[in-house]
């Protein structure tokens, strides 16, 4: 009599399968899709309609051209930090994470699938924002390969920092109901002080120094260095794109988020014993 031994799926196969599940769950959540895709586009259209034709002195850059990289940076933060923290807090409250933890799926595969889902969603979101900016406000896209390389590393570091912070924050929230009340004001403050809704150099110096502590300011500045002309570098706060500082700060926040996530992550609700 012959016997067959079941072969356990590889880590890559389990990660891939979980990634498909994550994407399907995201697509089934209409509220989340509206927040991720429609909301930033709505803001781009609104601000573009009001200020899009205005030219930022002393440059020839239109406000629409300036606003696009800020919205891209904000979208990355919203997807990887706010939305992810909220969705994981909800899954924890509904014991979804507890059930996943009880399966043979490795924790590393689960988190890798989450990160992959955030990256894919962010890419789609950015593509939509760029398409709207080009079609409606004549936003000019960079043609140099070096600019797109800058876009790639800023995007990856920014997404990594946002995602690890989102995972870490999800465990610090006592419950999902408190998430929106806590995270929304935090994100709004960062958006208004980091050069997303307002020109960064027009923000009071004290608020500029406050924003420099957090990743959104560096993410937005990194994206401006991709989509704005070289001449705009001279009117940045320190007369430079500060690529080295941008990479260092985003990497630092990625590490901070990773350390907090590893030390605090919970598969069960806070009231479980």
Residue ranges per domain, the chain?
Answer: 12-49+56-264
Residue 213 reports pLDDT greater than 60:
yes
Distance between CA atoms of 122 and 37, rounded to whole angstroms?
A: 9
pLDDT mean over 259-272: 86
Tokens 């034709």 locate to 53
- Residue range 29-74, pLDDT digits in tens: 888 888 888 888 898 888 888 876 777 777 888 888 999 999 999 9
Confidence of residue 1 (pLDDT cuts 50, 70, 90): very low
Confidence of residue 192 (pLDDT cuts 50, 70, 90): very high
Return the pLDDT at 2.
Answer: 47
Return the pLDDT at 5.
Answer: 53
With residues binned 3-state (H G I as helix, E B as strand, rest as coil), the percentages for the chain, rounded to 5, are 75, 0, 25
Residue 233 reports pLDDT greater than 70:
yes
CA distances from 220 to 44, 105, 153, 159, 240 (A): 15, 36, 13, 12, 14
- Residue range 92-133, pLDDT digits in tens: 989 999 999 999 999 999 999 999 999 999 999 999 999 999
Kindly give the residue spans of alpha helices, DSSP state H, lying in 52-144.
63-77, 84-93, 96-101, 107-137
Contact 88, 167 (CB under 8 A): yes
pTM: predicted TM-score of the whole model, two decimal places: 0.91
């Amino acid at each position: 009599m012959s016997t067959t031994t079941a072969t356990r799926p590889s880590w890559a196969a389990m990660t891939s399968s979980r990634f498909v599940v994550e994407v399907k769950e995201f697509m089934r959540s209409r509220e989340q899709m509206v927040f991720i895709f429609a909301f930033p586009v709505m803001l781009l259209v609104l601000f573009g309609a009001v200020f899009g034709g205005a030219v930022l002195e002393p440059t020839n850059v239109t406000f629409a051209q300036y606003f696009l990289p800020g919205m891209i940076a904000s979208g990355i933060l919203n997807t990887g930090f706010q939305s992810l923290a909220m969705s994981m807090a909800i899954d924890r409250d509904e014991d979804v994470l507890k059930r996943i933890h009880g399966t043979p799926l490795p924790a590393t595969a689960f988190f890798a699938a989450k990160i992959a889902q955030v990256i894919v969603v962010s890419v789609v979101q950015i593509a939509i924002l760029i398409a709207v900016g080009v079609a409606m406000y004549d936003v000019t896209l960079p043609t140099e390969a070096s600019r797109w390389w800058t876009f790639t590393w800023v995007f990856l570091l920014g997404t990594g920092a946002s995602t690890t912070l989102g995972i870490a924050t999800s465990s610090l929230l006592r419950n999902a109901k408190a998430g929106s009340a806590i995270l929304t004001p935090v994100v709004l403050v960062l958006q208004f002080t980091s050069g997303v809704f307002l020109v960064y150099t027009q923000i009071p110096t004290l608020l500029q120094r406050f924003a420099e502590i957090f990743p959104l300011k560096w993410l937005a500045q990194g994206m401006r260095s991709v989509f704005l002309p070289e001449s705009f570098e001279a009117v940045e706060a320190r007369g430079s794109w500060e690529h080295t500082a941008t990479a260092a700060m985003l990497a630092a926040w990625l590490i901070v988020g990773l350390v907090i996530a590893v030390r605090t992550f919970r598969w069960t609700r806070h009231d479980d014993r």
